[in-house]
Amino acid sequence: MHSILEIRSEVQNALDANSPLVALESALISHGLSYPQNLETAQALEQAARENGAVPATIAVIEGKIRVGLTEKELERLATGKGVRKVSRRDLAIAVAQKLDGATTVAATMYVASLSGIEVVATGGIGGVHRGRPSDISADLPELAQTRVTVVCSGAKSILDLPLTLEWLETYGVPILGYRTDEFPAFYSRQSGLPVDARVDTPEEAARIIRTKWELGLEGGVLVTVPVPEEAELPREVVEEAIERALTAAQEQGITGKALTPFLLSHIARITEGRSLAANIALLRNNAAVAAQIAKALAECQGGSLA
C-alpha cells in the first residue's frame, strides 16, 4: 500500500525544513458555512496563516485519499459538492475504503495532522457536550484527550453545554489556555463567565506550556482559546435567544446526530440576520492567524524547555 496520506509538496517541504505549519479543518467548508462564503472563508484562512508566517494545510478526503494540503480546485469541490460526507474519527476508514469525498471535523483533522507531523490545528469552535443531551459528546473531546496536537479555537460552539464540556476536558487532562483572556470564550461572544486554566499573552508563552506538556510525557492535546475580535462580537443575550429558538426548532423537527450542528448554525444565522455568520468568519480568520504565530513559536521552541 502506498502512503495513506497524500501530502502536498509545499506542505512536505515545510515539514522537512521544520517550518511552521497550520492544519485547517474542512467540515466548516462543507457543513458549517454555505457557498460562496465557505469557499471565500477557506481561502481567507489559508491566507491568514501565510500572512502570519505558516504554511496552511487544509485537510480533507478526496475520492478516498486523505489529502494534507488542497489545491484551489479541491477547495472548490468541497465548497460546492453535494455528497461530501462529514468525516470525524469514526468515518475516516469508511471514507477511505469507499473512496468517498469527506470534509474532516476537528477530531479527524487532529488525527491526520498528528500522522503528518503537524502540531497546530485552527478552527472556529470545537464540538463538545450538547445541551440537555449529556450523552451526545463530540468525538473532538476524546481526540483532544489522546492526540498530540494544539487546537486553536474560540471555545466550543455556544450551542453546547460549556460547563459540562469544560468538566469533560478537565477529567481527561486537556489544558485550556486563554489567549489574552481569563475567560473561556463563548464563540460569538468574548466571555462565558467560565475560567480558563491559564492566561497567555504571547504565542511564546503558549508554546512553552505546550512543549512542556509533551516533554512531561503527557499525551494528548492542548486547547488554546481566542475570543472573537471585538468589532464582530455578538451580545450574549442575542446569541442565547437565537440558540434557544434554534434548539426548539431542532427538537420539533427531530434533528439529531451529525445533522444537529449544521442545522443549529444555519438557523442561528437566519435569526441573527447574518451577524452570527460575520462573527464566525471573523473569529475563524483571527484563529488561523494566532495558530500560525503559535506554530512559529513552537518551531523556535524545539525541546529543551525543561532543561
Positions that interact with Mn ion (CB under 5 A): 136
Residue type, 88: S
- By CB under 6 A, residue 196 contacts ligand PSU: no
255 phi and psi angles, rounded to 5 deg? -85, 125
Q: Is 139 in the site for ligand PSU (CB under 6 A)?
A: yes
User: Residue 88: which of ligand PSU, Mn ion, none does it interact with, CB under 5 to 8 A by kind?
Assistant: ligand PSU
User: Site residues for ligand PSU, window 241-280 (CB under 6 A)?
Assistant: 258, 261, 265, 280
Binding mask 153-182 for ligand PSU (x = CB under 6 A): ----x-------------------------
Nearest to 239 by CA among 287, 186, 194: 186
Asked if residue 106 binds ligand PSU (CB under 6 A), the reply is yes
DSSP calls for 128-170: -EETTEEEEE-THHHHHHHS--EEEESSB-TTB-HHHHHHHHH
DSSP assignment string, 198-227 = EEE-SHHHHHHHHHHHHHTT--S-EEEE-P
Catalytic residue among 157, 183, 233, 296: 157
Beta bridge pairs of residue 160? 130
Name the residue nearer to Mn ion (CB basis): 136 or 241: 136
Whole-angstrom Cα Rg for the chain: 18
Report the residue number, 52 or 105, with the smaller CB distance to ligand PSU: 105
Q: What residues make contact with ligand PSU under the rule CB under 6 A?
A: 25, 27-28, 31-32, 88, 105-106, 124-127, 138-140, 157, 258, 261, 265, 280
For the annotated catalytic residues, the residue numbers are 25, 157
